[in-house]
Structure 1
Amino acid sequence: MKVVVTGGGTSAPIDDVRVITNVSTGRTAAAITEACLGLGDEVWHIHAPLAELPLLRFARCDLNADPQTERDRLDDLRRRWLAERDRLHLLPLKVGTVAEYSQALRAALSDGAIDVAFLPMAVSDYEPEARAGKISSKIDDLSIPLRRTPKVIRSVRDWAPSVYLVGFKLLSGVPTEELIQRAHDACLLNRADLTVANDLKDVQAGRHTLHLVRPGQPTETLSPGPDLAARLVERVRTWAREASLG
């Protein structure tokens, strides 16, 4: 399959040196891309400047590890990189604004016949009117007016009508029923085939759980585990194939 994945968090500049951003690391997106590559897919991976990158995130040497064990790990990683790098297209955002993200996503979806789009990138809901220069640090109380940003995911169906669209809904500390309902509502608003719902509190507690919400279908829940992203990708591939067959 041909797949687009987006990862990390967008940034909203306040002035020339400061931005408003979020806690997204891009780890989930990187794991999704790695799972897709492992299944033979070609992936366009759009990422924020500081997001974790698929495969490359494991390239740092662990100086506390046994030297031979670490050498073997890096050799295995290099073999996988050489085998899969031609199917991985890394598309970094320069600043990471919502507008830049929208432009990059539209280009990726328009340039090829993309089968599936995973959009876990944490996109800013609000942004200020950026000011030239640097706001003085001598100000005791600084007010920064924010305006709502466009919902990029709501344009995807216009850019790529046949793509299997996977959105993500992250909340924090809410009941599971509310999380699932919000994901269902997001599916309808975004014209998405699937919304993956999760809770930040679960992620931080090491019990990352995914609820797969599709309009008119029973919700499926994926339990925590190191292969969580791979299980998500397997389910999406199945549903995407079924959708393509009508």
Structure 2
Amino acid sequence: MNILITAGGTSEKIDNVRSITNHSTGRLGKAIGETFLANGHFVTYVTTPQALRPKSEDNLTVVEIETTKDLESALRAQFKLHSFDSIIHSMAVSDFTTETTLSEDLFIEKLAESLTKKGNLTDLAKLTEELYHSLDEIGETIQQEKKIPSGTDRLLLFLKKNPKIISMLKDEQPQAILVGFKLLVGVSTEELLQVGQAILTKNKCDFVFANDLEKIHGNQHEGILIDAQGQTETAETKNEIAQLIVKKVEEKWRK
């Protein structure tokens, strides 16, 4: 099989030396990749510079990205080159990216300037509307500094929502067996299953691996693999998860 795996965690630049990221190490993606490789499959591994990855070998191609935008571009480029039998989307993708950054003084200056132009804003509904409009305008401020000065007491960071990468995967590669992942924190098993099933249905996944951060400690990595029929299987370590996912993908591919 020709397999595409995303692993690690994207980061979003604040300036040329700072960024926002998450705690994903890519350890689970590495285990999944190594298991597919051990079974003789070809793996394209899309990851970040800091994340773990399988050892180099002939059947492995590594593609490095940093931001969510990079990830989308890299995936679209791969989809033009290859038809994948399965996509394992285990990467922790940033929900938001930076829009602009302003010091406290600059933000207040721009907001005051914008509202002053609107005249008398004694009506609460009108004031609220204008505040939203002003924030949209401020968010479009082009950040000039390559490194934001550290002298300000407060730094205001504007974030905007990233596109959901998983939502476009089946549209781009409808033949691929798609495995999605959902991480929650401190929820019941019932909620974990409910959210995982919703992700599966919404994004046309064949499988979703749902897990809870509070049940990830060292080698322990408890989670539930849900298929399109609502059937579930559990695993308790990263190696068990990798073996389970590879087995299920291989079984579906053979059918």
Q: Same fold (TM over 0.5)?
A: yes
TM-score interval (norm. to shorter): 0.7 to 0.9
Report the structure number with the largest CA radius of gyration: 2
- Structure 2 partner of 1:190: 203
Give TM-score scaled by structure 2 length.
0.79
Query: How do 1:192-207 residues align onto structure 2 when only pairs under 5 Å count?
Result: 192-204=205-217, 206-207=219-220
- Structure 1 partner of 2:64: 92
- Shift in Å at residue 17 of structure 1? 1.1
1:13-43 CA distances to partner (integer Å, 9 max, x unpaired)?
1112111000000111111110000000000
1:25-83 CA distances to partner (integer Å, 9 max, x unpaired)?
0111111110000000000000011110112xxxxxxxxxxxxxxxxxxxxxxxxx6xx
- Counterpart CA distance in 1 for 2:4 and 2:70 is 16
- Counterpart CA distance in 1 for 2:238 and 2:206 is 24
Q: 1:206 to 1:43 in 2, by over 3 A?
A: closer
1:84-140 CA distances to partner (integer Å, 9 max, x unpaired)?
x110001111xx111110111122233122101001000000111153411111222
1:185-242 CA distances to partner (integer Å, 9 max, x unpaired)?
1111211111111111111364311211123332221233644312321122112333
Contact 1:26 1:52 in 2 (8 A): yes
Give TM-score scaled by structure 1 length.
0.81
Contact 1:10 1:48 in 2 (8 A): yes
- Counterpart CA distance in 2 for 1:109 and 1:28 is 23
- Structure 2 partner of 1:3: 3
- Counterpart CA distance in 2 for 1:52 and 1:183 is 25
Contact 2:31 2:238 in 1 (8 A): no
Structure 2 residue 236 is matched with structure 1 residue 223: yes
- Corresponding letter in the other structure for 1:112: H
- Structure 1 partner of 2:80: 110
- Shift in Å at residue 156 of structure 1? 0.8
- Corresponding letter in the other structure for 1:191: K
- Counterpart CA distance in 2 for 1:120 and 1:226 is 14
- Corresponding letter in the other structure for 1:116: S
- Corresponding letter in the other structure for 1:198: N
- Counterpart CA distance in 2 for 1:44 and 1:29 is 12
Query: How do 1:228-243 residues align onto structure 2 when only pairs under 5 Å count?
Result: 228-242=241-255
Contact 2:219 2:238 in 1 (8 A): no
Q: 1:199 to 1:20 in 2, by over 3 A?
A: same
Structure 2 residue 153 is matched with structure 1 residue 140: yes
Moved more, 147-156 or 135-144: 135-144
- Counterpart CA distance in 2 for 1:228 and 1:178 is 20
Contact 2:206 2:228 in 1 (8 A): yes
- Counterpart CA distance in 1 for 2:238 and 2:88 is 20
Q: What is the aligned length?
A: 212
The secondary structure found in structure 1 opposite 2:157 is: coil
- Counterpart CA distance in 2 for 1:210 and 1:237 is 20
- Shift in Å at residue 142 of structure 1? 1.5
Percent identity, aligned pairs only, is 38
For the aligned residue pairs, the C-alpha RMSD in angstroms reads 1.6
- Structure 2 partner of 1:121: 91
- Structure 2 partner of 1:76: none
The secondary structure found in structure 2 opposite 1:147 is: strand
